[in-house]
Structure 1
Amino acid sequence: MRLASRLDDLGTETAFAVAAAAADWKARGNDVYPFHLGDLDFALAPHIVEAMDRAIADGRTGYCPGPGIPELRAALAEDIGSRRGTAYTPENVTVMTGGKPVITKFVQAVMNPGDEVLYPNPGFPIYESQIEYHGGVGKAYRYLPTDSGFAIDLDQVASLITDRTVAIIYNDLQNPISAESTDAEREAIAQLAVEHDLWVLSDEAYFEMRYEGESTSIATLPGMAERTVILYTFSKKFAMTGSRLGCAVAPPELGKVFGTMNTNDESCTTHYVQWAGIAALQGTQEPVREMLETLRGRRDTACEIVNGTPGMAVEVPKSTFYLFPDVTEAIEIVGARDLADFAQRALHETGVSFCTRNHFGRPQPGEDRRYIRFAYSGLSQERIREGLTGMRQWIEAAR
């Protein structure tokens, strides 16, 4: 029996492939430090759990409206709008089962087969996967290293736009590199979108996962409200990764399309989980603040050790829970053939498991530096220190 040929273009979230190798190594009796997967090891806040349990007890376990229950759509419109200094109504909000469906449904809604969509590389691998799976042409744009982190190559972005380009995916506070746009960079992307009449998917999964400063949404810039879809998720801010709850914030006409897609794909987002989402938005935010302080400590510990390791260097990020250190010289020190060999040897020699730059899109021509990604969201400060110190000692011994 034959399967559909388009399956050849369906990728995956590559961190899960790394997780399989780490699990296998652990199953052999080895200690593993899982820096590969951006999950959170924080318990769900009690008031969120109570709201979910109460909703189940009240019988909110059946079907509900495809675009989401009105109470959650209203709460999301208020919260997302107020935090971005703009106004949204429930008609702008379509509840979904996490952030990933927003990517898929955005691509399906705005792109025909053969159309071009620009996306960041390195970037979340599901962008590329969904563009190509649905018959589009993915055009990757790069980031350039600077003295303060990474910046979008705006000249390249402009050069990639053709009369077949319909959209650009933009991830401020970026996974995997933790880059945040300057005002000028954000405005430049907005200007290109307006000039070329492009849709924009603004992935704002980490909008509130920051340790200093304030986030700004590209959707609030002139000419952007009518062409921008915001990806919002409860997974990061509220540590609700397994609850699968998120939404798209979009112009109402596109929101109606998303609602119809929901009805076709899932019928609806789990009813009682939506009531937990309301409690997360409207209840105490102290657990969020406490989690961010804990993550800040983990970030500082990880950065201190990484920057004290021969052949490794990283800027201290102001947001997300990822580090993207340059390991070009470290690879040479240990005599690894390439990034994959470096990652495998690090796992077997130190137990430290991580993704590499190659897990976040195909490397582009001219890349001469080598990077890896550490996710510090699922390890205690003690485990971070233990694991990364072991990796530092391994590299020092090879020097």
Structure 2
Amino acid sequence: MRQLAHRLDRLGTETAFSVAQAAAAWKAQGNRVYPFHLGDINIPTAPHIVEAMNRAIADGYTGYCPGPGIPQLREALAEDIGSRRGIGLTPDNIVVMPGGKPVITKFLQAVMNPGQEVLYPNPGFPIYESQIEYLGGTSVPYRYLPTESGFAIDLDQVRASITPHTVAIIYNDLQNPISAESTAAEREAVAQLAQEHNLWVLSDEAYFETRYEGVSNSIASLPGMAERTVILYTFSKKFAMTGSRLGCAVAPPEIAKVLSTLNTNDESCTTHYVQWAGIEALRGPQEPVQQMLDVLRERRDAACELVNATPGMHVAVPHSTFYLFPDVTAAMERMGCTEVGDFATAALQQTGVSFCTREHFGRRQPGEERQYIRLAYSGIDVDDIRVGLDRLRQWIESA
């Protein structure tokens, strides 16, 4: 058999999809499944956005278009993203991409040489670790510490992890999977470290506007940060456009030019007619955005109530994203489980509740003793949340 490239050994994946396969197999056997595993959204894209996409197809916007995106969308993105973050942007700062995920890869291609180090959150979105290592870099994880209100970055660990080989830090405020949100002091501390050590910053802001209380803030708006920060922006979460694959990088112009060239090399351009839908999403009626947030808030509240009513499980109520990351250490002990993967399998087979675990979001770090699972409530209706999590509660109570 012919050999494949050695770098494939370093390529990871988004492991939530493997949980989805296990849940689908269990469902195919005739079992009921309550899907908390995948951060997809079971709320349709708003009709006016779909109509704009269909209209663009009918009008013939089905061919190639500029690599960095059509000018009209780049202008709309610069205006919207800049105004919401209090920073001045022009279309030269915007590079449209097929979703937010390509921003991670192209950022690393632009700023990291093989052998250089990149700090990334762990637990965190698994594609960070996968792409750093696939591209020949050294992935350096930093952890979060549990607090009464959720989780906080271990800033001492971040400081201790920076070396002369460190070139960048990936920072995910409003974080997947743990829903952590930085305080102003924490955000400023990360910014100070980036400036002290001359680091690039990838600010993953996929959930910037998926929030139920408070106001989001971007690290790029802090003094001295705009020129060293690339923002990951996506239409997937805010506008329920996960399958449309539309996002962008917000970058200093010199990096934006590099990202645009990478676009041309990788996919030529982002789908033309989808970009016209993006313009309508940004400039059209915004009521569907608020309506979706109202639905998600109801789901969050129901899920938090039931999780915290379950013996051995606890979670702080997050103000953003659509994930819960409860501590299940005591619940696992009650069930006689030592491995969180075994706990997840037993839960699926005994209750139908399907979820990811801490192990799906990066390699466990030394000293981690607590056990966690991730519950995504974006793809499950509130009535099924109540039924599923109540079945989980009864199962654990009966042990």
TM-score normalized by structure 1?
0.99
* 1:231 match: 232
Deviation, 1:336, is: 1.5
Structure 1 gaps of 5+ residues are none
* 1:258 match: 259
- What's the RMSD between the two structures over aligned residues? 0.4
State the alpha-carbon separation in 2 of the partners of residues 108 and 343 from structure 1.
Answer: 36
- Secondary structure of the corresponding residue to residue 64 of structure 1: coil
Equivalent position amino acid for 2:205 in 1: E
Matches within 5 A, 1:344-383: 344-383=345-384
Equivalent position amino acid for 2:245 in 1: R
Deviation, 1:262, is: 0.4
Deviation, 1:335, is: 1.1
- Secondary structure of the corresponding residue to residue 106 of structure 1: helix
State the alpha-carbon separation in 1 of the partners of residues 185 and 45 from structure 2.
Answer: 37
Equivalent position amino acid for 1:188 in 2: A
Once the two structures are superposed, residues 53-103 of structure 1 have per-residue CA deviations (whole angstroms, 9 ceiling, x without a partner) of 110010000000000000000000000000011110000000000000000
Equivalent position amino acid for 2:54 in 1: D
State the alpha-carbon separation in 1 of the partners of residues 337 and 87 from structure 2.
Answer: 50
State the alpha-carbon separation in 2 of the partners of residues 190 and 44 from structure 1.
Answer: 35
State the alpha-carbon separation in 1 of the partners of residues 164 and 319 from structure 2.
Answer: 37
Q: Percent identity?
A: 77
- Secondary structure of the corresponding residue to residue 178 of structure 1: coil
TM-score normalized by structure 2?
0.99
State the alpha-carbon separation in 2 of the partners of residues 101 and 146 from structure 1.
Answer: 32
Note if 1:86 corresponds to 2:87: yes
Note if 1:66 corresponds to 2:67: yes
* 2:213 match: 212
Once the two structures are superposed, residues 158-177 of structure 1 have per-residue CA deviations (whole angstroms, 9 ceiling, x without a partner) of 00000000000000000000
Equivalent position amino acid for 1:43 in 2: P
State the alpha-carbon separation in 1 of the partners of residues 337 and 216 from structure 2.
Answer: 39
- Secondary structure of the corresponding residue to residue 103 of structure 1: helix
Once the two structures are superposed, residues 228-265 of structure 1 have per-residue CA deviations (whole angstroms, 9 ceiling, x without a partner) of 00000000000000000000000001000011000000
* 1:109 match: 110
Once the two structures are superposed, residues 168-207 of structure 1 have per-residue CA deviations (whole angstroms, 9 ceiling, x without a partner) of 0000000000000000000000000000000000000000
Equivalent position amino acid for 2:162 in 1: I
State the alpha-carbon separation in 1 of the partners of residues 224 and 163 from structure 2.
Answer: 20
* 1:10 match: 11
* 1:308 match: 309
* 1:100 match: 101
Deviation, 1:337, is: 2.8
State the alpha-carbon separation in 1 of the partners of residues 334 and 160 from structure 2.
Answer: 38
Equivalent position amino acid for 2:154 in 1: D
* 1:339 match: 340
* 2:320 match: 319
* 1:392 match: 393
* 2:44 match: 43
- Secondary structure of the corresponding residue to residue 398 of structure 2: helix
Once the two structures are superposed, residues 94-149 of structure 1 have per-residue CA deviations (whole angstroms, 9 ceiling, x without a partner) of 00000000000001110000000000000000000000000000000000001111
* 1:136 match: 137
State the alpha-carbon separation in 2 of the partners of residues 334 and 162 from structure 1.
Answer: 43
Note if 1:172 corresponds to 2:173: yes
State the alpha-carbon separation in 2 of the partners of residues 87 and 198 from structure 1.
Answer: 22
State the alpha-carbon separation in 1 of the partners of residues 45 and 378 from structure 2.
Answer: 14
Moved over 3 A (4+): none
Note if 1:295 corresponds to 2:278: no
State the alpha-carbon separation in 1 of the partners of residues 106 and 48 from structure 2.
Answer: 31
State the alpha-carbon separation in 1 of the partners of residues 271 and 148 from structure 2.
Answer: 45
Once the two structures are superposed, residues 4-39 of structure 1 have per-residue CA deviations (whole angstroms, 9 ceiling, x without a partner) of 000001000010011111011011110001100000
- Secondary structure of the corresponding residue to residue 200 of structure 1: strand
State the alpha-carbon separation in 2 of the partners of residues 371 and 143 from structure 1.
Answer: 13
State the alpha-carbon separation in 1 of the partners of residues 384 and 212 from structure 2.
Answer: 21
State the alpha-carbon separation in 2 of the partners of residues 335 and 26 from structure 1.
Answer: 25
* 1:124 match: 125
